[in-house]
Structure 1
Amino acid sequence: MTGAPALPELTALTITVAVAGVFLICFMRGAFGGGFAIIGILLLSTVMDPVTAGGLLAPLLVVIDLFALRYYKPSTWSKPDLVLLLPGLVVGIGLGYLLFRFLDHRAISIVMAVITLAFVGLWFAGGGKVRSRARSSPKAVGAGFASGITTMVAHSGGPPLAMYLLPLGLTKEVYAGTTSLFFTVGNATKALPWLLLARPAGSEWVLMVICVAAVPAGVGLGWRFQGRLDQHQLYRACYGLLVVVGVKLLWDGVAGYLN
């Protein structure tokens, strides 16, 4: 990362796009528990650079998490899985912060994209069924660690976690609740490192305050949407979102080498 990112101008377009991007992230958070912030960044990246977007989102994600906890209570958390996942998450975020300036983000994006798309491809090839697989401590630790690195580097920690949780066949409420708490811990852990890396100032803080207005409605509508989906619909939606994330990561990585 070279130089300080340019501050976004507070134009009507910037404000509208930023609020829409944050609303989309909130909706995903309410509906699926989190992990798909990169989809909202698709919008944010049209009016600001990725590092600025990361700094803008770091404190906003913590605010979003506080609202999400109103809906995803402890009864929806798979505590045995969280015990295995969270230590790796924290370590991964720490490593991601230490190596942020030296990591080849393009290569990481491409590798994660290929793994994500292959995972979804195998699921579709198997008939798109929800199967129950026994939990695995090594896989859980590895998923938490990989998610920590990718959420720190690109706000895209969803795929590694989903690759571990989806095959477990958890109920939709427990899947979303476990994902929600996982990213609540992750977002709180990475907020300060991201603020140190991006150093938001001036217009960014104003834009954050404006975007907070989108949080309650976005999370609430997402949670209501999740309630309308049955188990299979939720899982299909999650796999479909993984395709979107995988394609976005692949595009970012390849485009980075071409530019």
Structure 2
Amino acid sequence: MIATPAAELTAATILVAFAAVFLIAFMRGAFGGGFAIIGIPLLSLVMDPVTAGGLLAPLFIAMDLFALRYWKPSTWSKPDLVRLLPGLVIGIGLGYWLFRVLDHRAIAIVMAVITLIFVGLWFAGGGTVTIRPRSSPKAIAAGLTSGISTMVAHSGGPPLAMYLLSRGLSKEVYAGTTSLFFTVGNATKAVPWLLLVKPASSDWTLMAACLFAIPTGVWLGWRLHGRLDQRQLYRACYGLLVVTALKLLWDGVSGYLA
């Protein structure tokens, strides 16, 4: 277990945490998940980042259960999931070990550079999606890397997106497959996170308050998804990858400079 300070139940803490959970839930509804790290900077304003990770772990499961109302089995690419999920589960196990022994800053920098290269190649190609056939080795690698990064930093989105975006799936199947992938991942990593960061009673109270942000956030995100066409959704995903990568890069570099 890692000793972390409990979140203080001030008005500012509750408002910021509520806004962060709403934002993550919104992204969950719009894109199926994978961009939880975007809400971490908000939470880090009012609490330790590791405490924030422990706070979010159970809330992710609540988001997943609510999102299943929208991303039904008809939106899942089952052949891709069969190849992705084993690597995800193994990656979470590896991530649990790496969380305790490796430098998180180095992991963040490597993940950021790989993601920026991927997006850079997309821009260099004119912003078009090159559809690639289903690949078991690539899917296993994506699942494994996503499992490690989601366990270490709640940033499993980029590895999965790099694989699924290249598959040229319809926007509904892309979001539905992403949603189920992280439903499995979040359920798997919840216990390891709670073992690493044992929440205090004030943390559980804050989680309960944040639950009310989830239904509206997921629903509004899902409504946005319906308004975006295929090309707009893919552009938005690539744009979010850049934001996520820059956040990871900043976390890694600033950690060394601090």
| Bin for the TM-score computed over the shorter chain | over 0.9
Once superposed, which parts of structure 1, at least 4 consecutive aligned residues long, lie more than 6 Å away? none
Q: Equivalent residues in 2 for 1:167-182 (5 A)? A: 167-182=166-181
Q: Which residue of 1 aligns with 2:185?
A: 186
- Shift in Å, 1:257: 0.6
Deviation at 1:89, TM superposition (A): 0.1
Letter in 1 for 2:23: L
CA contact (8 A) 2:98 2:152 kept: no
Give me the CA root mean square deviation: 0.8
Amino acid at match of 1:81: D
Distance 1:125 1:181 in 2: 31
* Aligned-pair CA distance for 1:130: 2.2
State the distance in 1 between where 2:190 and 2:232 align: 32
Structure 2 residue aligned with 1:161: 160
Structure-2 residue corresponding to 1:142: 141
1:107 counterpart residue number:
106
The aligned runs of 1:13-28 (5 Å cut-off) are: 13-28=12-27
Name the residue aligned to 1:96: 95
* Counterpart residue identity of residue 18, structure 1: A
Separation (CA, whole Å) in 2 of partners of 1:77 and 1:186 = 15
* Structure 2 match to 1:222: 221
Q: Can you give the 5+ residue segments of structure 2 that lack an aligned partner in the other structure?
A: none
> Would you say 1:235 and 2:234 are equivalent positions?
yes
Shift of 1:90: 0.1
Matched AA of 2:34: G
Name the structure 2 match of 1:82: 81
Q: Secondary structure at the match of 1:168?
A: coil
Q: How far off its partner does 1:103 sit?
A: 1.3
Q: Where in structure 1 are there 5+ consecutive unaligned residues?
A: none
Aligned residues: 258
More displaced stretch, 128-137 vs 161-170: 128-137
Q: Secondary structure at the match of 1:214?
A: helix
Residue by residue, what CA displacement relative to the aligned partner does 1:88-128 show, whole Å, maximum 9, x if unpaired?
A: 00000011112211111000000000000010010011000
Alpha-carbon distance in 2 for matches of 1:130, 1:246: 20
1:58-108 CA distance string (max 9 Å, x none):
100000000000000000000000000000000000111122111110000
Identify the residue that residue 58 of structure 1 maps to in structure 2: 57
* TM-score (normalised: structure 1): 0.98
Q: Distance in 2 between matches of 1:144 and 1:36?
A: 15
What is the deviation of 1:42?
1.4
The percent identity for this pair of structures is 78
Q: Is the 2:105–2:252 Cα contact (8 Å) retained in structure 1?
A: yes
Note the C-alpha offset of 1:139. 0.3
Instruction: Quote the offset at 1:163 in angstroms.
Output: 0.5
CA contact (8 A) 1:130 1:232 kept: no
